[in-house]
Every structure is written in structure tokens, then in C-alpha cells.
Amino acid sequence: MATLLHIDSALAPQQSSSREVGAAFVKNWLEAHPGGTVVHRDLAAHPVPHLDWDALSAGLVPAEQHTEEQRAAVAAREELVAELEAADAVLLAAPMYNFSIPSTLKAWLDQVIVVGRTGGAEGTVKGLPFTVIASRGGSYAPGTPRESFEFVTNYVEKVLTGMLGAEVDFIVPELTLAPVKEELAELRPLARASREKAFEEADVKAKALAARLAV
């Protein structure tokens, strides 16, 4: 049976669009793929360490010469990399914070991208399907006033395809702050439509992924 690695990064444990859509995706995937395994990693509740010199420099010397700090850093990184390599698909929640991804998600990416292993033309996760939930409080779609501020989907697509050789598909719930901000009240119909579309896509794409992995 297939394994879905589910990465959450939203700070809010509840009432988070990326978490809600992600939970719906997982539910639909499991219904379509009974017996499948979901490995959930919550980067907000349990942040991974940022990539530091101990982890990076460990790759420059033989393992038997590693310091205690290097051994600890390598072990922490190995856990994350092995978890990614064991997955058949990844569900990645990437809410927009200050026009970019959460720092915890950037830390995870830095840890799992290992040039010569996961990263590179023949990396160990080449072709791995990623479904990315890129939620945002406003709208940064083409033609909107803040189109040029969109650094989430652009960055995530480039780093996953360019560094890992992964396949990337997006679900983008927009205007998630409209229900709670009066200055966005006139955009609430659009927000509801975007939310409904996100849940519909979570259903369709989860079932399509389950069917693909079942072959």
C-alpha cells in the first residue's frame, strides 16, 4: 500500500485553511485508497532544526571524523530525508506568511534537499508527486493588484521541480481573511467560491492520486 507524507506548517492549530483543506484531502485519499498509510509531520507543533554548519560541514569529511555535533545534525537530517524517500506522494501545506512560506517549511526543505541524494538529475525522489495547498489571506492571482507579491507558488514550484525533480500540483484557497476582516467584506462571495473550489479540488485530486498509486 502507498504512503502519503502530509506536511503541515500553518501556525494556527485550528481554523487554518491549509489545515482544513489538507485534512479533507487526506480523508478523500484514504477513502479512495483503503489501507494506505499517512505519515503526518506538523512543522508548527514540532519545528525541525534549521540547516546549520554542523549538518552542512558533515558532508565534507568522512563519517568517522564527525564531531558529536555533526553526528547529531546528520541523524536529524537523515530522519527527515528517509521519511521523504519512503513516501509515494507528498501533501504539502504552504500558507502565505509575509508574501512567502513559513520559515519552518523553508527549514524542512533545506534539510531534505541533499545534492547528490534527493537533489540532482537522478535524485532518489525524482518524479515524486507533490500536492501543494498554497492558501493566502488575499488574492495574488494574475491581474490582481498584488500579483507581483506572489512568492509562494513560484518559489515552491521551482524548488520542488528544479532541485528534487518532483511533480507539483497546486490547490490555492484565496481570500481566507475576507470572512474576518471588514475591509474585505465585499470580497466574501469570492472567498466562499475559492474555498468551495479548494475542497472540490481536494476531493478530485486526492482520488486521482489514490487511483494512480493503486496501479
The pairing of strands 3-8 and 167-171 is: unpaired
The model's pTM is 0.95
- The pLDDT score that the predictor gives to residue 205 is 98
Please count the other Cβ atoms lying within 10 Å of the Cβ belonging to residue 101.
25
- The pLDDT score that the predictor gives to residue 14 is 86
- The pLDDT score that the predictor gives to residue 146 is 92
Q: Measure the CA–CA gap between 131 and 4, rounded to whole angstroms.
A: 10
DSSP string, 94-158: ---BTTB--HHHHHHHHHH--BTTTBSTT-TTTT-EEEEE---SS---TTSTTGGG--SHHHHHH
Which regions of the chain are under pLDDT 70?
none
**Contact indicator for 37, 122 with CB cutoff of 8 Å:** no
Residues 10-67 have pLDDT tens digits of 999 888 999 999 999 999 999 999 989 999 999 999 999 999 999 999 989 999 999 9
- The pLDDT score that the predictor gives to residue 121 is 84
- In the chain the first and final C-alpha atoms are separated, in Å, by 10
- The pLDDT score that the predictor gives to residue 15 is 86
Q: Residues 31, 104, 85, CA angle at the centre, nearest 5°?
A: 55
- The pLDDT score that the predictor gives to residue 70 is 94
Residues 41-52 have pLDDT tens digits of 999 999 999 999
- The pLDDT score that the predictor gives to residue 96 is 97
Q: Measure the CA–CA gap between 72 and 12, rounded to whole angstroms.
A: 30
